[in-house]
Amino acid sequence: MLLLSELIQATKREMEGRGYAEATVMIYEKIWRMVASYAKEAGVDQYSTDFAFEFLKWKFGDLTDFPRTHTQAEYFRGINKIDEYCKYGFVSSKRPRRKAYIFPKGHDEQIRGYLAKRKSEGLSEKRIQVFMLYLERFSSFCAEIGLEQIADVSQEHINQYLAYVANYTASTVTASISCLRAFLEYLYDNGVIGQNLSYLLPKVRLSSENAIPSAFSKDEVENVLECIDRSNPTGIRDYAMMVLGSRLGLRSSDIRGLTLSNLDWEENKISFVTQKTGKMSVLPLLNEVGDAIIDYLKVRPVSDSKEVFLRAQPPFTKLSGSALYWVASSYIHRSGVRIPPGKKHGPHSLRHSLSSIMLESSVPLPIISDILAHSSTDTTKVYLKIDIRQLRECALEVPLSHLRRA
């Protein structure tokens, strides 16, 4: 593994090679110098995500709603660049968010023909956008290594691309290969290439059953909740969100998207459509959860936003996508619970904890799947991978209302 100083220099060279503006690199260099200085004082010589988190906490203190300012956003992007290079060995090209994708001249016609075919088959616009991203990445890479016409694609080009895309995450690799396989079959079926090269792509199936969830014990979950300072509006809000994750197993996106209309106080239930699966979920509004939400509503900023949980600082709008991660991770670190290397410590870990304990309490998989709004019981089976002996030491009580619903 590279030393932090070496990692910073390698990241700088990579950004320069990918055409980042000199002014942008200079801004990041200033941030990296501060990171290096902090690391020296702390006696750290190698980079890790936990170290990056500690640096940001040292620099900005409270990471709630992070990043809140332009300066914080710059630091976040600067840290993200060295994090990206550390994990994958490269820095992604700078590209603004856009709906239009650009394909090399000798590739454009065939790619757009393929996309038009998939659209005519009923593929959603969102999926089309995803395919455009993967095909742009493939065609741009091929053009860079000298493939001017897609009709001339060969086994060598594909092998080189596979080596390149291997630097991405497992889910991205799987999706990239799947997309490229279908595109190569299209080229062959339409006579663009004389050989079906799709067979060169390995059969990769990313299964959630391969992953072992990161779960905390009952005492650890309680320690996290108890370390939240509820003497201020931010702490009161954070506690309510953390209770929703640890007692009802709500996903981060559903906590952030929860609206006042989702709360039925008369029937003591929470009803909402999960953002990930689109499945309707109806959960009991447990006393602990309801009390925590009421406490927050008493100090909630005045706002026209329909969401229950809002930013702690103006503008008082819906929380950003990363906000709850920083909230959960901050309190988990602050609580002092042990976080072994590789163990996740974001809001999803609270959901995993509840799920695993329900399984240990002999709640049937279909019931757990229903409570957590999983798309199928196959998703829930991943919790079977957790060590049962560990679960016996982590016996978080299952709310009786959950069992009544069973």
The CATH number covering residue 255 comes to 1.10.443.10
157 is catalytic: no
Our CA dihedral for 254, 260, 262, 267, rounded to 10 degrees, sits at: 140
| Whether 374 is catalytic | yes
Which pLDDT belongs to residue 97?
Answer: 45
pLDDT at 400 over 50: no
pLDDT over 70 (residue 102): yes
Crossing angle of the two packed helices 70-88 and 22-42, in degrees rounded to 10: 80
Same domain for 41 and 144? no
Set 351, 381, 389, 405: catalytic member: 351
Structure tokens at 126: 């969102």
- Domain identity same for 275 and 304: yes
Higher confidence at residue 279 or residue 380?
279
Does residue 231 share a domain with residue 200?
Answer: no
Do both 223 and 192 map to the same domain? no
Residue 150 neighbours by CB under 8 Å, 6+ apart = 106, 107, 110, 111, 139, 142, 187, 192
DSSP category for residue 89 = S
The tens digit of pLDDT for each residue in 223-264 reads 888 999 999 999 999 999 988 888 888 888 899 999 999 999
Q: Output the 3-class SS for 297-359.
A: HHHCCCCCCCECCECCCCCCCECCCCHHHHHHHHHHHHHCCCCCCCCCCCHHHHHHHHHHHHH
Q: What is the pTM of this model?
A: 0.48
Residues 27 and 136 in one domain: no
Statement to judge: residues 288 and 242 lie in one domain: yes
- Answer with the one of 32, 53, 88 that is the final residue of a domain: 88
Stretch 110-115: mean pLDDT: 94
Please identify which of the residues 30, 105, 276, 306 carries the catalytic annotation. 276
Confidence of residue 7 (pLDDT cuts 50, 70, 90): very high
Using only the alpha carbons of the chain, give its radius of gyration.
Answer: 24
Active site residue 348: yes
Active site residue 137: no
Same domain, 159 and 84: no
Is residue 95 in some structural domain? no
Enclosing domain of residue 252: 218-405
Of 30, 55, 88, the residue that ends a domain is: 88
In tens, the pLDDT along 59-96 reads 888 776 667 677 887 888 888 888 878 876 777 665 54
98 inside domain? no
For helices 323-335 and 218-226, angle between their N-to-C axes, nearest 10 degrees:
110
Res 363: pLDDT: 46
Check whether residue 335 and residue 267 sit in a common domain: yes
The yes-or-no verdict on residue 166 having pLDDT over 90 is no
Q: What is the pLDDT of residues 281-323, one digit of tens each?
A: 888 888 888 999 999 999 999 999 999 999 888 889 988 777 8
Is there a single domain that holds both residue 28 and residue 166? Answer: no
Boundary-marking domain end, from 88, 116, 133? 88
pLDDT > 50? residue 385: no
Is there a domain that residue 212 lies in?
no
Which residues on adjacent β-strands are paired with residue 55? none
> What would the mean pLDDT of 28-44 be, rounded to a whole number?
91
Lowest mean pLDDT among 176-190, 342-356, 372-386: 372-386
Q: Which of 251, 318, 345, 352 is catalytic?
A: 251
Structural domains of the chain, count: 3
More confident site: 74 or 1? 74
Q: Is residue 241 located within the same domain as residue 172?
A: no
Q: Are residues 293 and 341 in the same domain?
A: yes
Within-domain flag for 213: no
One domain, residues 112 and 82:
no
For 358-382, what is the mean pLDDT? 50
The question of whether 351 is a catalytic residue gets the answer yes
